[in-house]
A and B are shown apart, each in its own frame.
Chain A
Amino acid sequence: MINKVRADALEMLSIVPDGASITIGGFGLTGVPIMLCDALCELDRKDLHIVSNNAGIDPTGVGRLVGEGRLRKFTGSFPSNKDFFTLFHRGRVELELVPQGTLAERMRAGGAGIPAFYTPTSAGTDLATGSYPARYDGNGQVTAWLPAKDVRVFGGTACVLETALATDFALVKSHRADRLGNLAFRLASRNFNVPAAMAGRVTFCESQSIVEVGEIEPDDVHLPGIFVQHVIQSRPGSFDAPNRGAAS
């Protein structure tokens, strides 16, 4: 019998090694697998390549991983976190800045067996022409730039070649999950969790509730369990975030 429900987050995530690449769902404060990020910190994992839309907008979730200096590289669209800014400009972490829609599609492609695709987004911009810093040295000098993207014209529109993002692991958060790993989300907390779960070769989900098989109606499964390998009950409190208000 398939039972993907796990009891202990530290034990579950102990298979994630230092240096792993990990896609993490969430946008702003919604749908962020905070408990799983905490577990990675408690396991003292380092040199991680984190793929996520935000680099955290407060010291929880991805923000905690960043603040504790656990990243070697960040791939995402909006790393507006002050800790990240400091680490990036001191040469402590590499950045792959990606437009948000391209990021989502690269994750989706990674899980969908599409190695690369063309998109008009970012054509002609610094993100496509090799003109955006990817890494600094300790003195604030750029030592690496994002690579220039291949360009092809389709129907008169310049498009850039983007490669799929498939990572060793993914961390996501759902509203409901069952022992098969079927997931259902609420409102804006679905966001990157679906493409993130697809991008991970091994996907861990923390869920606000774990329900019996069949409770999520077939038409209400937002992500089929075949994409999910491990499910765990989210820690009470980790989804009762206070209203921390807006940030950049």
Chain B
Amino acid sequence: MSEPEPLGWSRDDLATRAALDVPDGAYVNLGIGIPMLIASHIPDDREVWFHTENGVLGLGGVPEADEIDLDMQNAGKEYSKIVVGAAAFDSALSFAIVRGGHLDIAVLGGMQVTATGDLANWSVPGRTPGVGGAMDLVTGSKQVWVLMEHTDRTGTPKLMRHCTLPVTGTRCVSRVYTTLGVFQPAGTHFECIDLAPGVDRETVRGLTDAEVTFHDDARDGH
């Protein structure tokens, strides 16, 4: 299926941009979808440990066909590798890591985020039910980042004054990376701290439901 060239960052660019902000030594949980792409974009000089809520700290990349271990999947139910030094544990301990505030960053996908940091990403009425670990991850992690398209498929904004979809957690999001830029929920508005190449402030304002202010670093069309 071919799609028109999207405005701003591609999914891979978005993951690359977020990966730049993951500090050396961080323990990170990556949600299913775009967040998972971050793992392959961490700069080489940083040691970052990935947690998967089904019970491993030290998640690795995608195995070749002959490397598949039937006992090793990630939370997206894909077969995965582990890295040397990995630890395995049960789900209760895994969520003690999550809920107990031991993860530095949880990166999740999002449907809507508000300027107060509320996140909706788990439920669309009428669709398949399922919450997984999303509500635990947003509750416990030191920082919660959301990676998502700036608008939904119909062009409707996802950075909102109020969530119209059921929330996953309130006042939990510290940063949002969208295809158009990087945004911090600032209570009454989002502060844009970086713009994707070729994206200008007016475009962002037009595609954002909430108020947006722009940090000096977020320059038009750089």
How would you classify the secondary structure of chain A's contact residues: helix, strand, loop or mixed? loop
Given contacts A125-B169, A189-B71, whether A97 and B131 have CB atoms under 8 Å apart is: yes
Closest to A103 in B: B91
Closest to A99 in B: B135
**In the complex, A228 has a CB within 8 A of chain B:** no
Whether A30 and B135, one on each chain, are in contact in the complex, defined by CB atoms closer than 8 angstroms, is: no
Whether B129 and A127, one on each chain, are in contact in the complex, defined by CB atoms closer than 8 angstroms, is: no
Q: Which of A92-136 contact B (CB under 8 A)?
A: 95, 97-105, 107-108, 119-127, 131-132
Given contacts A29-B77, A101-B95, A193-B90, whether A77 and B139 have CB atoms under 8 Å apart is: no
Min CB gap B58→A, angstroms: 10
- Expressed in whole angstroms, the Cα–Cα distance for A204 and B123 within the complex equals 34
Min CB gap A87→B, angstroms: 12
- Expressed in whole angstroms, the Cα–Cα distance for A222 and B71 within the complex equals 16
Min CB gap A198→B, angstroms: 8
Partner of A127 from the list B53, B69, B75, B131 (CB cut-off 8 Å) is B131
> A-B contact count, CB below 8 Å?
163
Proximity string of chain A (68-89) to chain B, C-beta cutoff 8 Å, 1 when within and 0 when not: 0000000001111010010010
**In the complex, A31 has a CB within 8 A of chain B:** yes
List A contacts of B166 (CB < 8 A): 125-126, 131-132
**In the complex, A245 has a CB within 8 A of chain B:** yes
List B contacts of A30 (CB < 8 A): 54, 70-73
Q: Which of B52-86 contact A (CB under 8 A)?
A: 52-56, 65, 68-80, 82
List A contacts of B54 (CB < 8 A): 27-28, 30, 188, 191
**In the complex, B213 has a CB within 8 A of chain A:** no
Interface size class of B (residues with CB under 8 A): 35 or more
- Expressed in whole angstroms, the Cα–Cα distance for A212 and B130 within the complex equals 41
- Expressed in whole angstroms, the Cα–Cα distance for A97 and B123 within the complex equals 12
Partner of B99 from the list A80, A97, A120, A190 (CB cut-off 8 Å) is A120
**In the complex, A15 has a CB within 8 A of chain B:** no
- Expressed in whole angstroms, the Cα–Cα distance for A140 and B55 within the complex equals 37
- Expressed in whole angstroms, the Cα–Cα distance for A32 and B90 within the complex equals 14
Partner of A245 from the list B53, B78, B82, B167 (CB cut-off 8 Å) is B78
List B contacts of A102 (CB < 8 A): 95, 135-136
- Expressed in whole angstroms, the Cα–Cα distance for A98 and B91 within the complex equals 14
List B contacts of A124 (CB < 8 A): 167, 169-170
Min CB gap B59→A, angstroms: 9
Proximity string of chain B (99-112) to chain A, C-beta cutoff 8 Å, 1 when within and 0 when not: 10000000000000
**In the complex, B4 has a CB within 8 A of chain A:** no
Whether A119 and B131, one on each chain, are in contact in the complex, defined by CB atoms closer than 8 angstroms, is: no
**In the complex, A243 has a CB within 8 A of chain B:** yes
**In the complex, B2 has a CB within 8 A of chain A:** no
Closest to A189 in B: B71
Proximity string of chain B (135-156) to chain A, C-beta cutoff 8 Å, 1 when within and 0 when not: 1100110000000000000000
**In the complex, B88 has a CB within 8 A of chain A:** yes
A interface with B by C-beta (< 8 Å): 27-31, 53, 57, 77-80, 82, 85, 88, 95, 97-105, 107-108, 119-127, 131-132, 175, 185-195, 222, 239-241, 243, 245-248
14 A-B pairs with CB atoms under 8 Å apart are: A27-B75, A27-B91, A30-B54, A30-B70, A98-B131, A101-B91, A101-B94, A101-B136, A120-B139, A122-B135, A190-B89, A194-B92, A239-B70, A241-B70
8 other contacts beyond A120-B99, A185-B88, A189-B71, with CB at 8 A cut-off?
A: A85-B128, A88-B129, A104-B95, A122-B135, A123-B139, A188-B52, A243-B65, A243-B68
